[in-house]
Structure 1
Amino acid sequence: MRLRRKPWARPELAACHFFISDPPKYKGRWQELFNNNNPIHLELGCGKGVFISEMGAANQHINYIAVDIKSEVLALAKRKIVKKYDEAGITSVNNIKLMSHNIELIDNMLDSTDDIERIYINFCNPWPKRAHNKKRLTHSKQLVKYKTFLKDGGEIWFKTDNDELFQHSIKYFEENGFIIKYITEDLHASGFEGSIPTEHEIMFTEQGIPTKFLIALLNK
């Protein structure tokens, strides 16, 4: 569904202290920006912020970089984050940096010195047409880029409702030197703990569609 244009979105983001307007400016300097030595996790395609708001509020000892492309959706994520932190009694959002950036060009804003510990890819576009497969966020074309800034022993947590994308992604990970550390075709029936549901995950679960989930470990 196409999100309607929101005239207030860009001004509100510009006034937000945890919104980063020029992500490439901090390439190689994200730890410096957070001003601590806590591990950094990255969400690719944060959407309306359901997942990242929960993660950030529950894990103040972890820094989060949340990326999406549309200002309209990021503005909704900003509001969701602020609301969640207020509910949790956290006075300021210091461990999340929100930004608009083309994920296909993620290597423009991160490099090997950024040492990302974990990447979350939640319900990305499956790009089912063969001609478009290279646009998948789990495609080898993208994994090569992630490997430059994902630390040795770092993980990619991947969720999807799409069977074909899931099976193809397993192959992409294995072909690029990742070890499948955990895998299930029905996350909610698996007993796995520590995974916060996303907006799409909640919707698909209500429709009876199981969430496929894996953890891919980078062994450099």
Structure 2
Amino acid sequence: MRVRNKPWADDLIAENPEAIVLDAAAHRGHWQDRFKQQQPLQVEIGTGKGQFLIGMAKAHPEINFVGIELQKSVLAAALKTSLPEALDNLQWVLADGDGVETFFEPGEVDQLYLNFSDPWPKTRHEKRRLTYKTFLASYQAVLRDNGKIQFKTDNRHLFEYSLMSMTAFGLQLTEVSLDLHADIAASDGKLENIETEYEQKFSAKGQPIYRLVVEMPDKAK
């Protein structure tokens, strides 16, 4: 999908170095220094315009959040939206999520979020899917023992592929939802869900939203 250039993006990024990181690898092992206080660290890969992570940061001030996005104009839009909120538990990273193990030390991350990733439907593009085994290995490298991955999509084929890929990798399923919004309605508020921009768009059309939550096994076992 072509992303429209935003002429103000470079200036906004340059003016807010306290909120956005351009050299993620330089902070490997020291991410807590970017935040007001040391707290559990959760990371979203492919953060888009930031609605999900901004919502999470507001709902959970007891957690530090990092959002990684490759498209500069898209991340600048997220930054622009977040600045008025003055969230001291949220940082943005301009980088490719492929290679996340170079950004964080082993065990530095408590939870990862993969929201509405590109499904790469053609078989020859399987290795580009964010739930392919090489990506799962990079997540395993940075997650603490028993750290979690939350995955959401509207794409049934990607959901089924991810379910098989994650279980084959040895991840432990803690939640499988075939219709997240229906499950939330039936849970009497027990299931939390911060919606993304894409999620609102797809659910408004009546499409079911799928969610998986998996847990990394204890590496010592």
* TM band (smaller chain): over 0.9
List aligned pairs for 1:6-17, cutoff 5 A: 6-16=6-16, 17=18
The answer to whether 1:101 aligns with 2:83 is no
CA displacement 1:167-211 (0-9 Å, x = unmatched): 110111112221110101100001252110110000000111110
Q: Alpha-carbon deviation of 1:93? A: 2.5
Alignment RMSD, CA only?
1.3
The match for 1:64 is: 65
- Aligned residue identity for 2:166: F
Mapped contact 1:104–1:135 kept (Cα < 8 A): no
Unmatched runs of 5 consecutive residues or more in structure 2 = none
Q: Alpha-carbon deviation of 1:31? A: 2.1
The match for 1:126 is: 119
For 1:177 and 1:34, locate their aligned partners in 2 and report how far apart those are by CA, in whole Å. 33
The answer to whether 1:172 aligns with 2:133 is no
Question: Match for 1:161 among 154, 158, 172?
Answer: 154
Mapped contact 1:156–1:216 kept (Cα < 8 A): yes
What secondary structure does 2:114 align onto?
A: strand
The match for 2:47 is: 46
Unmatched runs of 5 consecutive residues or more in structure 1 = 86-91
Mapped contact 2:36–2:89 kept (Cα < 8 A): no
Q: Following TM superposition, where does structure 1 have runs of at least 4 consecutive aligned residues deviating by more than 6 angstroms?
A: none
Distance 1:162 1:113, change over 3 A: closer
Normalising by structure 2, what TM-score? 0.92
Deviating more after overlay: 147-156 vs 33-42: 33-42
CA displacement 1:26-55 (0-9 Å, x = unmatched): 011112332533100000111001111111
Q: Alpha-carbon deviation of 1:73? A: 0.3
Q: How many corresponding residue pairs?
A: 212
Mapped contact 1:52–1:81 kept (Cα < 8 A): no
Normalising by structure 1, what TM-score? 0.92
List aligned pairs for 1:129-148, cutoff 5 A: 129-148=122-141
- Aligned residue identity for 2:215: L
- Aligned residue identity for 2:95: H
- Aligned residue identity for 1:41: Q
